[in-house]
Chain A
Amino acid sequence: MSDLFQKAPEATETIVPPAERLGGRRLHVRRGVHRAQVLRHIALMVVTFVMLYPLLWMVASSVRPNSEIFQHAGIFVDTFDFSHYPEGWNALSHPFSTYLVNSAIVVLGTIIGNLVACSMAAYAFARLRFKYRKAAFAIMLITIMLPFHVLIIPQYVLYSQLGWVNTFLPLIVPKLLATDAFFIFLMVQFIRGLPQELDDAARIDGAGHIRIFGQVILPLMIPALATTAIFTFIWTWNDFFSQLIFLTDPSLYTVPVALRQFIDAQSESDFGAMFAMSVVSLVPLFLIFLFGQRFLLRGIATTGGK
């Protein structure tokens, strides 16, 4: 194998001299590179296809008649049967729209909470000099890695004494208090990258910290805010544990808790409906993926979120 593989195709293009000056060996190497690229693409296509296959199968199964679902490993549908969607929509104690709306409320609340509270804390950590700053910052970093198990039981006791069980408050209020420290850290990183001169200029113009934060830093940190909003959306939409324990009234069920009912309530005979509602529950995530992946991928690459 040639070491030229390491180079980007653009680079190879500029290195290779005009055709008439080419020796046979050069041409050969280049063709070899080309072939290796093709092989690499074929291998990657196969891997990608295999990885996405279960998803395609799920979508295909959601529009197949029940009798055919488990006879087919294929993803091409002969007889389309869309009846699983209305069936699944109404299969549980409430129409699926109820669960979607509940999830949307929780997601919206958590996004607002994370954006407001984490950006405030991030500004303080990134730009202000204060007593115990280092210690506070270290504590904040440690809380990112703290397993929620050591908190959840006393939190549950606290929220049930406040009468918050079976409301959305236990899912939203903590976010207004910046408990998702991961996002504080993400924003601190971002603010540190903004030139300090901007703050100084605003300060010379007489701006205080509130105005510097609101009118200088916040508008500039929109990419970090977008990343936060997107990650919060995904994590909250997928979150199961806390929604499972805090929401026991079926009219308050969010999408994950509702989907779970398909498994234990029903005799699992109506697989089509189960597939259909699984697909419905993934659509918002997929849309986020389509439109927000720039922020998503950058956010993962710099901070390690999932």
Chain B
Amino acid sequence: MTALGELRALGTGQRRHAIDSDTRDNRAAAGFLAPWLIGLLLITIGPMIASLYLAFTDYNLLENPRFIGTDNITQMLSDERLASSLGVTFTYVLVSLPIQLAVALALAVVLDRGLRGLAFYRSALYLPSLLGSSVAIAVLWRLVFGKEGLFNAFLGIFGIEGPSWVASPDTALGTIMALNVWTFGAPMVIFLAGLRQIPRQYYEASATDGAGKWRQFRSITLPLLSPIIFFNLVLGVIGSFQSFTQAFIVSGGTGGPADSTLFFSLYLYQEAFASFRMGYASALAWLLLLIIGASTAIMFWTSKWWVFYNE
């Protein structure tokens, strides 16, 4: 079961058989959990509370935080760079993630069911996922989509002279989305594992009833794979909202040209660690948490209608 499944199970009261009344292991548990508990308090919960407080302050790291009430929130409402960073990030999530997952699913379906050489294709297609979040690949991307990069050299074969794709506000975000789609290998591997769980008899029975491949995909594969799709979607949304490295490297840390690659995380970084406006950046961080939390909640809520749990 995935982490999401576990949380769902805890929420719906399954796994009741775990007896919590039996407390004979309390001392041993305290020992084994000590590092985790210290970390949870000092490095997670403590900073979270501090961050919530800082969100209502003006703080530049040198002087003490000054409480300013809801000024940061008021400022956010009229912050144009924040608005464009939200636009960029939402576009990125809403456009590149569905494409990435669709490509991953399509290739997983093609690779499924005993294709010879499956292991080779799976590994080769997974490789970009493994390298994709590195600075080196972001550097490569900048050069591939530069004025004289690989992409334009390719277009040159057809006599097209392309612009610098990373230097134009209209296309810079597109190159980063392409990078995200390029890393479809990880969700593909998850899809493949899910496809393997679908009993082959379902396909055989439906074939006997005269169902074609497309019908089988729609009526068997999609519903039975829906928990995995949901899982990939939730992970993808949570991860994509936090994207940083690629935008930072492709834009040289600016989020440019014309803020067209100013991802939310990049804006937050600039505010916190370039302008040292730690209070405002904390408010931004909480806004991000709320956005991710709300998105996840909406996905869980809609999952009632399209995710089928075989329980």
Contacts and interface: CB of A to CB of B under 8 A. Distances in A.
Nearest to B28: A209
Interface in B167-201: 182-183, 186, 189-190, 192-193, 200
Contacts of B207: 3, 6
A178 to B, nearest CB: 4
B238 A154 contact: no
B273 A154 contact: no
B289 A149 contact: yes
B200 A51 contact: no
A47 B120 CA distance: 13
Interface string B141-181: 11110001110011011000000000000000000000000
Nearest to B11: A138
A262 B156 CA distance: 27
A295 interface: no
B121 A48 contact: yes
A263 B252 contact: yes
Given A5-B213, A57-B150, A238-B134, A140 B128 contact: no
B33 interface: yes
Given A5-B213, A134-B10, A297-B189, A306 B18 contact: no
Interface in B219-240: 231-232, 235, 238-239
A285 B131 contact: yes
A83 interface: no
Contacts of A237: 134
Interface in B91-148: 107, 110-111, 113-117, 121-131, 133-137, 139-144, 148
A210 to B, nearest CB: 8
Given A8-B114, A134-B20, A259-B135, A150 B289 contact: yes
Interface residues of B, number: 116
Contacts of B110: 40, 43-44
A152 B286 CA distance: 12
A124 B32 contact: yes
Interface stretch (A19-27, A104-112, A115-123, A220-228): A115-123
B244 A240 contact: yes
Contacts of A166: none
Given A141-B3, A153-B54, A117 B39 contact: yes
Given A7-B114, A134-B18, A184 B46 contact: no
Nearest to B65: A157
Contact of A131 (B23, B34, B186): B23
Interface in B259-311: 265, 268-269, 272-273, 278, 281-282, 284-286, 288-289, 292, 296
A104 B10 CA distance: 39
B1 interface: yes
Given A121-B32, A147-B285, A154-B50, A234 B130 contact: yes
Contacts of B273: 156, 245
Contacts of A37: 115-116
Contacts of B77: none
B139 A120 contact: no
A10 interface: yes
B114 A151 contact: no
Which of B47, B149, B156 has most chain A Cβ within 10 Å? Answer: B47
B278 A153 contact: yes
A28 interface: no
Contacts of A8: 113-114
A306 B39 contact: no
Contact of B133 (A138, A152, A306): A306
B284 to A, nearest CB: 8
A204 interface: no
Given A121-B35, A144-B3, A300-B190, A282 B127 contact: no
Contacts of B212: 1, 3
Contact of B153 (A70, A123, A303, A305): A70
B2 A174 contact: no
B231 A304 contact: yes
B47 A149 contact: no
A35 interface: no
A240 B245 contact: yes
B26 interface: yes
Contacts of B182: 51, 54
A11 B117 CA distance: 16
Contacts of A285: 130-131, 134
A256 B61 contact: no
B189 A301 contact: yes
A281 B245 CA distance: 15
Interface string A37-64: 1001101100110011111011001000
22 contacts: A9-B114, A41-B117, A44-B107, A51-B128, A72-B153, A120-B36, A133-B20, A143-B44, A149-B289, A150-B288, A152-B285, A153-B47, A153-B54, A154-B48, A157-B278, A182-B3, A241-B245, A260-B248, A296-B130, A301-B190, A304-B2, A304-B231
